[in-house]
Amino acid sequence: MKRRQSRGGRSITRRLYRLPLLCGTGRMPQAPRSSASRGAPICATSAAMAEADDIAPRAGKEDVPPAPSGALPESEGPGPSVKVSTARVSPGTLRTGADLAPYIDHTLLKPEASRDDLLKVAEEARKHGFATVCVNSANVALVARVLAGSKTVPIAVVGFPLGAALSSAKAFEAREAIRAGAREIDMVINLGALKSRDYALVHQDIAHVVEASRPYPVKVILETSQLTREEKIIGCSLAKAAGAAFVKTSTGFSSGGATAEDVALMREVVGDDVGVKASGGVRSAEDAMKMIQAGANRLGASASVAIVTGQTSTAKY
């Protein structure tokens, strides 16, 4: 299959990022060895791409089983979807560190975080005008109370940090977090299923959390440091097909964080109708600008105050 030249000189063919032979066999044709070099697109046969084109439009409907019975309270219906900006940010609009604040998810996910730590983070977010505060689901109610009346919204993480929980458990955690005040959900993808090429399970896992979180947006954390280039592409494709609003690089608790290269690849895969969040290792305004230039439109950081005040943090995530 010939590659098409896209705008801006990009040569990655969007069709190669369509859902790859998903939900039936959970298998994808192996990329030829010659395409394994850095920057090369994942190739497949014409027949495989034709099948992927046929499956992709149906992936969010026919191939998603209903949520497990008995695990969740009865749904009140999907309702209107809360919209979030997913498009690229123009770096020219960001002249100072403070201009980055509306794109930052101020983050505190350490398990030892105390009540005082959480209150401090929430107050910092109100003061600097950060987009959100991202905390563990057990802490979201406290943060939501502090943020009430401000433009900053609470986020809860789900299946964090391993992503290895049952889909029903992730969906239940998401719904309970929203009841406690979360207005966005950051879930961890099922890494083991993705690496095992069980794409049906990965898609189902995300779709259950998306459904349980309605009408609020869901971000899917890929943990890019643990994935091959092919797995990153497939993970982004699955997240988009399952209805995620964002794809996100990292938990900040694994062996590596966000890189500009990964952010650029993720943005190329999902386009402008799904957001890209760079998280893990963003410690300064310079780091943040690199991620935005690569295509991120949301930044996850515990070093948020340092970023907007022109300092560099030594935080590990």
* Least confidently predicted of 32-36, 139-143, 192-196, 302-306: 32-36
Q: What is the per-residue pLDDT for 305?
A: 97
The whole-number average pLDDT for the span 211-235 is: 98
CA-to-CA dists, residue 110 to 60, 89, 226, angstroms = 34, 29, 21
The residues pairing with 248 across neighbouring beta strands, listed in sequence order, are 221, 277
Residues whose CB falls within 8 Å of the CB of residue 112, separated by 6 or more in sequence, listed in order? none
pLDDT: is 97 or 80 the higher one? 97
Q: Choosing from 170, 232, 248, 290, which is the catalytic residue? A: 248
> Token pair for residue 289?
């600008």
Q: Choosing from 186, 205, 262, 287, which is the catalytic residue? A: 186
CB 276 within 8 Å of CB 297: yes
Catalytic (active site) residue 248: yes
Between CA 298 and CA 100 the distance in angstroms is 9
Q: What is the per-residue pLDDT for 60?
A: 41
Catalytic (active site) residue 219: no
Between CA 118 and CA 100 the distance in angstroms is 22
Proportion of the chain above pLDDT 90, given as a percent: 67
The residues pairing with 246 across neighbouring beta strands, listed in sequence order, are 219, 275
pLDDT: is 16 or 239 the higher one? 239
User: Is the pLDDT at 203 greater than 60, yes or no?
Assistant: yes
Tens-digit pLDDT profile for residues 139-161: 999 999 999 999 999 999 999 99
pLDDT: is 55 or 147 the higher one? 147
| Structural domain boundaries in the chain | 7-58, 92-308
Q: What is the CATH number of domain 92-308?
A: 3.20.20.70
The whole-number average pLDDT for the span 180-186 is: 98
Catalytic (active site) residue 151: no
pLDDT bin (cut points 50, 70, 90) of residue 23 is very low
